[in-house]
A and B are shown apart, each in its own frame.
Chain A
Amino acid sequence: MESFSDLGAILLMQGFNGLSVFSVLLLMALGLALIFGQMGVINMAHGEFLAIGAYTTYLMSTVVQAHAPGFMPYYFLFAVVAAFAVAFAVGWLVEWLMIRHLYRRPLDTLLATWGLSLIIQQALRSVFGPREVSPELPEWLMGSWQPLDGVDIPINGLFVMALSFVMTGGLLLALFRSTWGLHVRATVQNRLMSGAVGIDTRRVDRVTFALGCGIAGMGGAAFTTIGATGPTSGSLYIVDTFLTVVFGGAASLFGTVASAFLIAQTQSVSEFFMTGSMAKVLTLSAIVVILMLRPQGLFSIKTRK
C-alpha cells in the first residue's frame, strides 16, 4: 500500500500548495484592493513597495548580523513590522507629492505610478546594487514541518499564510468596525457629502494609500522567505496582483479574497496536471472568459442604475 500512502501524501501537500498560493496572492492583492478598489488609483508601483519591504528586511538582517548576532532568531518579526513602517512612510510621501494631484484622473495615475515604479527600481539598484541579495533568515523559518511520514509542509509557507490571514482579518475589521473604516467607506461612496459632514477626506485618502503601501511592504518582507529580493522582484508579482483585484470586483474586499482563492486553486491544480506554461494559459483564459461574461468582476457593490 506504499504507493497509495505516497499518493495521499502528495495530495495533501498539493492541497496545502493551493492554500499557500492563495495566501501569497491575497497578501499581495490586499494593499492594491484598498488603493485601487477604495480610491480608484491604479498603482503600478505596488510591486516596488513590495521590494521596499523586502530590502528593509535585508537591511535589518545585515545590521543585526553585524551588531547583535544573538538577536538573529527573532529579528524577522521586527523586520516585518519595520517593512510595514517604511513602506507606509514612503506611501504617505508619494500620496502627498504625487497621487493627491491626480485623483480625478485615474488613467494618469496609471502613467505616473508606472514612472514612479521605474524611479524606485533604479533607486534601489543604485543604492543596493543591481544584483539580487539574500537576507539571512532565522533557522526556524527554514525547512519543512513533517506532520506525517512523507508529508513536508513548508514552514515559510505556513508563515506567509498566517500573516496573510491576520492581515486580511485585521483590514476587514478596520474597514467595517472602526471610525477610520467608516470614513473610508463614506468617502468612496460620496466624497463631497463626506466632506460636508466633516470628514477630512484628504487625510482619509492619505492614510488609505499609505496603509495599502504598508501592507505591500509587509508582504515584501514575508516574500523574502519564498522568493527573490532584487530591484525588480516586486514587478514579478504585479500582474497577478492586478488580475486578482480586477477579477474579484474592484470595490469589494470579499471579492478579492474569493478571486485569490479561485485563481490560486485553478493555477495550483492545473499546474499539477499540465506543464507550467500551459497552466498559466488555462488560468488566464478562464479569467478572460469570466470577465467577458461578468465585466464588473465576481463581486460588485450594488448600485442603482
Chain B
Amino acid sequence: MARKPDTDDVLLSPARRRMALAMASLPLAAGLPALGRAAAPATAEVNTTGLAVTDTEVIVGQLHSATGTMAISETGSIQAERLAIEQINAMGGILGRTIKVVQEDGASDWPTFAEKARKLLVSDKVATVFGCWTSASRKAVLPVFEKENGLLYYPTFYEGLEQSKNVFYTGQEATQQILAGLDWVNRETQAKTFYLIGSDYIWPRTSNKIARKHIENVLKGEVVGEEYYPLGHTQFGSLINKIKLRKPDVVYAIVVGGSNVSFYKQLRAAGVTADKQKLLTISVTEDELLGIGGENCEGFFSCMKYFQSLDNPNNQKFVQAFKAKYGEKSVIGDVTQAAYLGPWLWKMAVEKAGSFDVDKVVAASPDLEFTGAPEGYVKIDPNHHLWSKTRVGKIRRDGQFDVVYETPELIKPDPFPKGYQ
C-alpha cells in the first residue's frame, strides 16, 4: 500500500498506526480498495446519539458467561466474536475506526446479565453488544436493550417466538432448524414413528411442539412418545428401555448439558447404536461431541446450519484462522459460527448506514447480504433473523460430521410460525 505521506499521517494515533501496519502485512489488503482513511467521516456525522465513538475508535460490548455452568457453551462464541473483530480491525476497522471491546461476564446468572447489559449501554455507551447464549439470559437483557435503545447480536439457535427492534438473531429460529431435518429423515428412511425427548425447559419443549405438529400434520406420521427430563438428569436407563419397547423409526432428541453426555453414553452401553436405531438431534454440535465422545454417538444425525467440516472456501479460511488463534485442537460448533457472523453483519449495516446510530443501523440491516459467511451466503430478513440453509450431519468417531444433506435454497426465518403454535 504505497501511500503518499501527507499531513494526516503525522497525526495517526498509535492504534491507527498499528492498524495500518496490520493492513500492510495482509496480502489481501493490497488488492482491496483503500479502506478506512479515505472513508473515515467526522465523528459528529456518524454518531449523533452519544455512543462511545471517537475519531479513531468505536467501543463495542461483549456479554457472555466466561464463568459458571454456561461457560461450557459460551466460550466458543466469545472466541469467534473476538476473531471476527480482530479480522475487521486488520482490514481497517469500521468507518475508519478501530473496534475496541469491553468484555463483561454474565457468569451464567440471568440477573447479572441484565445488570452488565445496563452497565455496557449506560456507562460504557457501547455502539453494539455481541452476547447472550441461553434464551433465559436474552429474555433478561431484552427490556434493558429496548429501554436504552441498544443493539444486540444474539448467536444461538433458539425457540423463536420473539422479535425485537433491538436484537439481531444470527442463529436459526426453531422452524429453520426443525422442519427441513424432519422432512429429510422422512424422505430418506420413510420414517413414520417418532419418539420425542428433551430436557425440561422452554427450548426443547417449544421445539418438540413444532416437531410434533409437523410430524402429525405434514408428514402424516405418529409421535409414539414425548417426554422431558429435568436439566442435569443423569440416569436414562428407563427411558432407553421405553424406546426399545416402542421401537420408533426415529428418536428425536433435544437433551442438553451434562445430561446429553449421560444420555449418549448410556444409549451406547444399552446397545442402541446407529445400525439399529435412527436418531436425529438438534442439540449436538462439535462442541458437545468433545464431552460426549464421538465413539458414543457415531452414525447418529444432527441437524444444524453449520458444520466445521463444510467444504467451501469461506469456511476453510475461517477454520484455519480459528485454529491459528485458538490452537489446532479447538473445534467450531454451529453457534460459534453464528457468533462469528455478528461483527461482520454489524460492520456491513454500519457501513451501509454510514453511521453508528442504532436506529440507522437497524434501518440499514434488512436485506443485507453477506457472501463471506463460513456457512455460505446469508441474508438478514426484515424480521431480524437470518435466511440460511439447513444441513444434516452424520456424526463421525473423531467428533466431526459428514454433511449428508443440505437444503437447496436458503430458508426464510419464521419466528412466529402459523399452524405450529
Contact = CB atoms under 8 A, between A and B. Distances in A.
Contacts of A144: 269-271
A276 B245 CA distance: 16
A186 to B, nearest CB: 37
Given A232-B69, A275-B228, A276-B227, A226 B269 contact: yes
Interface string B220-260: 00000011111011110111111011000000000001111
- Which has the most chain A C-beta neighbours within 10 Å: B75, B200, B244? B244
B270 A131 contact: no
Contact of B244 (A13, A155, A232): A13
Q: How large is the interface on A (under 10, 10 to 19, 20 to 34, 35 or more residues)?
A: 35 or more
Given A131-B72, A228-B291, A277 B258 contact: no
A156 B265 contact: yes
Interface residues of B, number: 44
Contacts of A20: 235, 237
B287 interface: yes
Interface of B is mostly: helix
Contact of B258 (A6, A136, A233, A268): A233
Contacts of B288: 132
Interface string A265-277: 0011101100111
A53 to B, nearest CB: 15
A229 B272 CA distance: 22
A133 B292 CA distance: 8
A268 B228 CA distance: 15
B325 interface: no
B232 to A, nearest CB: 4
Contacts of A237: 234
Contacts of B235: 17, 20-21, 24, 267-268
A10 B272 CA distance: 13
B103 interface: no
B258 A125 contact: no
Contacts of A146: 271
A143 B268 contact: yes
Interface in A257-292: 267-269, 271-272, 275-277, 279-280
A14 interface: yes
A236 B231 CA distance: 9
A40 interface: no
Given A154-B269, A277-B200, A17 B72 contact: no
B290 A152 contact: no
B67 to A, nearest CB: 6
B41 interface: no
B293 interface: yes
Interface of A: 6-7, 10, 13-14, 16-17, 20-21, 24, 122, 125, 129-134, 136-137, 142-144, 146, 152, 154-157, 225-233, 235-237, 267-269, 271-272, 275-277, 279-280
21 contacts: A10-B244, A13-B270, A17-B237, A21-B235, A130-B66, A130-B67, A132-B72, A154-B270, A155-B269, A157-B269, A227-B262, A229-B261, A236-B232, A237-B234, A267-B238, A268-B237, A275-B226, A275-B227, A276-B229, A276-B230, A276-B233
Q: In the A-B complex, list the 4 residue pairs whose CB atoms are closest, starting with the nearest.
A: A132-B291, A17-B237, A154-B269, A130-B71
Given A132-B258, A143-B271, 4 more contacts: A17-B235, A20-B237, A132-B72, A276-B230
